[in-house]
Amino acid sequence: MSKIKPLIKQALTTLAVESLKLLRFLPLPVIHGLGVFLGLMSYLFNKDHRDHAVRNLKQFGLTNSDADLHKLLFQSTLENSKGALETFAIWFKPHAKVISWVKEVFGWDAVEKALQSGKGVIFLTPHLGCFEITSLYYGSHHPMAVLYRQPRQKWLMPLITNGRERGQITLAPANAQGVKQLLQALKRGEAIGVLPDQAPLEGEGEWAPFFGRPAYTMTLASKLAQKSGAQVFMAFGERLSFGRGYNIHIRAVNAEGIDTPTLLNAEIEHTIKQCPAQYLWMYDRYKVRNQPPPQTL
Closest CA to 77 of 53, 56, 59: 53
> Which one-letter amino acid corresponds to residue 294?
P
Q: Specify the number of domains making up the chain.
A: 1
Q: What's the pTM?
A: 0.90
Beta partners for residue 234, in sequence order: 124, 251
Burial label, 54 (beta-carbon count in 10 A; 0-12, 13-18, 19+): middle
- The answer to the question of residue 284 being in a domain is no
Where the chain has pLDDT below 50, the residues are 291-296
Contact criterion met (CB below 8 Å) for 164 and 149: no
Burial label, 129 (beta-carbon count in 10 A; 0-12, 13-18, 19+): buried
pLDDT in tens, 220-245: 999 999 999 999 999 999 999 999 99
Report the pLDDT value the prediction gives residue 297, as an integer from 0 to 100. 54
Rounded-to-integer distance, Cα 151 and Cα 48, Å: 23
- The answer to the question of residue 42 being in a domain is yes
Burial label, 199 (beta-carbon count in 10 A; 0-12, 13-18, 19+): buried
- The answer to the question of residue 290 being in a domain is no
Domain holding 273, by residue range, is: 4-278
Report the pLDDT value the prediction gives residue 292, as an integer from 0 to 100. 46
The neighbour count for residue 79, using CB atoms within 10 Å, is 24
Rounded-to-integer distance, Cα 204 and Cα 222, Å: 12
